[in-house]
Amino acid sequence: MSRRMPGRFKFFIGGTALGALIGYYLSKPKQLKEWPPITSTKEKEWPPRVPINLEYPGPINDAFPRKAYYASYNRRLRHPNWVFEHLTKDSLQAGENVDRKFSKFLEDPEIPAIFNAKLVDYFKSGYDRGHMAPAADAKTSQEALNETFYLTNIAPQVGNGFNRDYWAFLEEFCRRLVRQELFTDVYVFTGPAYLPKEENGKWYVKYQLIGDPPNVSVPTHYFKVILAVKEDNNSPNGKLYALGCFLLPNQYIPRDTKLTDYLVPLNALERATGLRFFENLQEKTVPLCEKTKCALVPPSKWIDSNSREKLLTDQGPKD
Ligand SMILES: *[C@@H]1O[C@H](CO)[C@@H](O)[C@H](O)[C@H]1NC(C)=O
Ligand SMILES: *[C@@H]1O[C@H](CO)[C@@H](O)[C@H](O)[C@H]1NC(C)=O
């Protein structure tokens, strides 16, 4: 995976006097603190000339290029905005003696304390520390695996029937695209989402915060946007681009629920998250579920050992 994210990130900066100002800037690893360049044709000068030193207030895109993934962290919600992975046969090879039993969940030392997710926030919260880039995708080295345990790669997930079950099968589905379906490159964006719910004819987004005082937001949903690529002589430029977008509620999901029940149009997810995925490629893609069977196949043995393993490692420490 490239150490820098391809593409550009767009941010809106609100200002009453100014109206909306759209800043474009290239992603750089770590914190971006400079004022974004102006693209509006109406405003010529920003920051305005005032007799104080006007610091850029944010939002800051805390970006973490790591061995097996790239994470963008959200300081307000205290979990990732999204995490990106590039899965290949090589990236899924397990290194010698690499084992999650040697890894520990870690607070990320690079996030300022007041914005950081803490281990105590998850402690006895009732939620699992859910990996966005799964540990099982990062077995090439102990260091790569360890890095998936930073809380900047973690968000609160319902344990029973979700993190330890259905969601884990979806993670396995992504690996299977490489291992069984022979896609050479599988690109995955994973992240939390907050969806509105109707109550008495009005729409609200309602979510819990965990920690005392409350620190970490609990997403209502989680998404995976999967772009699977392989050679294909019948496709225009010799490559097949298959795209699938899944949005799952952060709750118990019965194992026999069809994965296709959670397929959503990419632009619906984009509207919900304010993010754009694979923008330049969208035109070229075909639906993933037309090119492969979008079904979860949890082998019974795998379920038992994996849920037990997940139970031991993903749950907050007990008392
Ligand atoms: C978050 O957790 C830390 C450590 O428990 C605490 O000091 C802090 O006040 C909490 N709340 C916020 C909003 O940072
Ligand atoms: C992995 O994490 C464990 C626990 O924090 C640590 O003891 C070990 O040195 C780490 N290994 C590597 C290769 O970073």
Gap from CA of 107 to ligand 1 centroid (Å): 13
Q: Look at residue 27 in the predicted model and tell me its pLDDT.
A: 36
| Cβ partners under 8 Å of residue 214, min gap 6 | none
Find the angle CA(193)-CA(62)-CA(137) to the nearest 5 degrees.
Answer: 65
- Going from the N-terminus, what domains does the chain have, and what CATH number goes with each? 1-60 (no CATH), 62-314 (3.40.570.10)
pLDDT tens-place string over residues 154-177: 999 999 999 999 999 999 999 999
- pLDDT above 80: residue 39: no
In this structure, what is the dihedral angle of CA atoms 88, 90, 95, 100, given to the nearest 10 degrees? -10
* The two three-digit tokens of residue 94, written as one number: 């397990």
Q: 116, 118, 124, 210: which to mutate for ligand 1, most atoms within 8 A of CB?
A: 118
- Per-residue DSSP letter, 48: -
End-to-end CA distance of the chain: 39
* The two three-digit tokens of residue 106, written as one number: 């870690």
Q: Give the closest ligand to the alpha carbon of residue 121.
A: 1
- At 140, is the pLDDT very low, low, confident or very high (cuts 50, 70, 90)? very high
Check: CB of residue 197 under 8 Å from CB of residue 206. Answer: yes
* Pocket lined around ligand 1, Cβ cut-off 6 Å: 114, 118, 120, 211, 213, 215
Tell the residue number behind the tokens 């639906």, with chain if given: 287
Among 91, 95, 70, residue whose Cα is nearest residue 81: 70
- pLDDT above 80: residue 182: yes
Ligand 1 atom with least separation from CA of 214: 11
| Cβ partners under 8 Å of residue 222, min gap 6 | 130, 155, 157, 167, 190, 191, 192, 193, 247, 248, 250
Check: CB of residue 302 under 8 Å from CB of residue 111. Answer: no
**Stated pTM of the model:** 0.84
Gap from CA of 11 to ligand 2 centroid (Å): 36
Q: Is the CB of 142 under 6 A from ligand 2?
A: yes
- pLDDT above 60: residue 319: no
Residue with CA nearest ligand 1 atom 9: 213
Q: Is the CB of 102 under 6 A from ligand 2?
A: yes
